[in-house]
Amino acid sequence: MKNNIRINRLIKDYSQEQLANIVGVSRQTINALEAAKYVPSTVLALKISRVLGKPIEELFELEDKD
């Protein structure tokens, strides 16, 4: 699964740590998400979407291999 979390996080001027604190996960989780090494739960994806002010479809995209 591809995602645009990093770009949208930087637009909002959040560090990984700040975003992690807001959505209630570790900085390592945000790092893993941005590196496409971790697929978030629905709840986490919705929280990130709300905080970044973007629809989920703009943050996450399925790849052909998914």
How confident is the model over 36-56, as pLDDT tens digits? Answer: 999 999 999 999 999 999 999
pLDDT tens, position by position, 1-11: 999 999 999 99
Q: CATH number of the domain at 2-55, out of 1.10.260.40, 2.40.37.10, 2.40.160.20, 3.30.70.240?
A: 1.10.260.40
Has residue 66 got a pLDDT over 90?
no
**Could you state, in order of their start, the residue ranges of all structural domains in the chain?**
2-55
Kindly report the pTM of this predicted structure.
Answer: 0.92
Distances (CA, A) of 31 to 16, 45, 64: 7, 14, 23
